[in-house]
Amino acid sequence: MADIAFIGLGNMGAPMAENLIKAGHRLSVYDLNPQAVERLSGAGATPAASATDAVGSAQVVISMLPAGPHVRDCYLGKGNVMAATPAGALLMDCSTIDAATARAVATAAGERGLMMLDAPVSGGVNGAINGTLTFMVGGSGEALEQGRPYFEIMGKNIFHAGEAGAGQVAKMCNNMLLGILMTGTSEALNLGVAQGLDPAVLSDIMKQSSGGNWALNVYNPYPGVMDTAPASKGYQGGFGVDLMTKDLGLAMQAAVATRTATPLGSLARSLYQAHSLQGSGGLDFSSIIRFLQGEDDQ
């Protein structure tokens, strides 16, 4: 059993850390939010007073933070994780961030003789709870094999996307498509309901037809259609509008840099940004349906 430092215990990090504890690993955990640390220590983890404290005797360091600046700050800035990590430890950043930051942090790790993987995930909070996440891994094959036993506890699909940063590129493409699909699914449901259809009936029909997609099939944005979806829980928890806006922003930066046409991604980004600016940044991203209904401020 390994000593694992886990940094970032939010909607995703907390259940991922819990699965590692249930598998018998010893976890030292840190989050800026003391309540998040307290919850995990109730689940059997050792609370740490700082990121440096958490990694002191770690064989594996896993981070699940909001965005690139948080990751850079944690490993290379105030968090000072890179300098405090023992030699031979494996670093695995599972946050969704820009590929350039992922490469910069991995290069700094390499300069210290540490192996690092960017390993963003797909599958949402339920995937994190159930240990069924998909990992998109960038880094060396050797590092991936070292990390595989931990990925296999937290997820069920592990893909090697390529060298450092490649996992983030794969994730960015996936999430741009997800933002487009959630917006399109919401439009279609609204159009059906506006003509008198029951959203559950319409969803069943589209799921078995050519409109079926992940947003419709497992994350229905219409309240009451799917008990487990954030839409049926007041759009609480799940994957935040601000996080989706961030991911669409990363995709647009990459599209400009590579001169790739992404008109639908660009439109989805504008819609999510406007939705966030209406005060909905903390809601789950399926709440874009409310924005399209003109109900953001109600």
Catalytic annotation, residues:
171
Closer CB to ligand NAD, 164 or 202, in the complex: 164
- Residue 192 or 280 with smaller CB distance to ligand NAD: 280
Determine, following the binding rule CB under 6 A, whether residue 105 of this chain makes contact with ligand NAD.
no
Binding map of ligand NAD across residues 219-238, x = CB under 6 A, - = no contact = -------------------x
Check residue 184 and report its DSSP letter. H
Size of the site for ligand NAD (CB under 6 A): 29
Is there binding between residue 96 and ligand NAD (CB under 6 A)? Answer: yes
The yes or no reply on residue 10 touching ligand NAD (CB under 6 A) is: yes
Which x/- pattern, by CB under 6 A, does the window 107-146 give for ligand NAD? --------------xx-xx---------------------
Q: Does 270 bind ligand NAD (CB under 6 A)?
A: no
The nearest distance, CB 41 to ligand NAD, in angstroms, is 14
Give whichever of 7 and 27 is closer to ligand NAD, judged by the CB atom: 7
For residues 264 and 126, what is the distance between their CA atoms, to the nearest angstrom?
A: 27
Per-residue mark of binding to ligand NAD, 57-76 (x: CB under 6 A): -------xxx---x--xx--
**What is the DSSP code string of 87-125?**
TTPEEEE-S---HHHHHHHHHHHHHTT-EEEE--EESHH
Stretch that binds ligand NAD, among 3-11, 138-146, 255-263, 272-280 (CB under 6 A): 3-11
Q: Is 16 helix (H, G, I), strand (E, B) or coil?
A: helix
DSSP 278: I
Residue 28 dihedral angles phi and psi, to the nearest 5°: -110, 125
Can you tell me the distance from the alpha carbon of 204 to that of 212, in angstroms, rounded to the nearest whole number? 9
Place of tokens 């689940």: 43
SS3 content of the chain, % helix, strand, coil (to 5): 55, 15, 30
Contacts 24+ apart (CB under 8 A), 46-53: 48/5, 50/79, 51/5, 51/7, 51/79, 51/80, 51/81, 51/84, 52/79, 52/80, 52/81, 52/84, 53/28
Q: Closer CB to ligand NAD, residue 13 or residue 179?
A: 13
Residue 245 interacts with ligand NAD (CB under 6 A): yes or no: no
| DSSP single-letter state for residue 136 | E
Cα separation, 88 vs 168, in Å, equals 24
- Using rule CB under 6 A, residue 178 touches ligand NAD: no
Tell me whether strands 60-63 and 90-93 are parallel, antiparallel or unpaired: parallel
* 11 near ligand NAD (CB under 6 A): yes
CB of 71 to ligand NAD, least distance (A): 8
Residue 293 CB, nearest approach to ligand NAD (Å): 22
Which residues contact residue 79 at a Cβ distance below 8 angstroms, ignoring those fewer than 6 apart? 7, 50, 51, 52, 73
Nearest approach in angstroms of CB 16 to ligand NAD is 9
Binding site for ligand NAD (CB under 6 A): 7-13, 30-33, 36, 51, 64-66, 70, 73-74, 79, 95-96, 121-122, 124-125, 238-239, 243
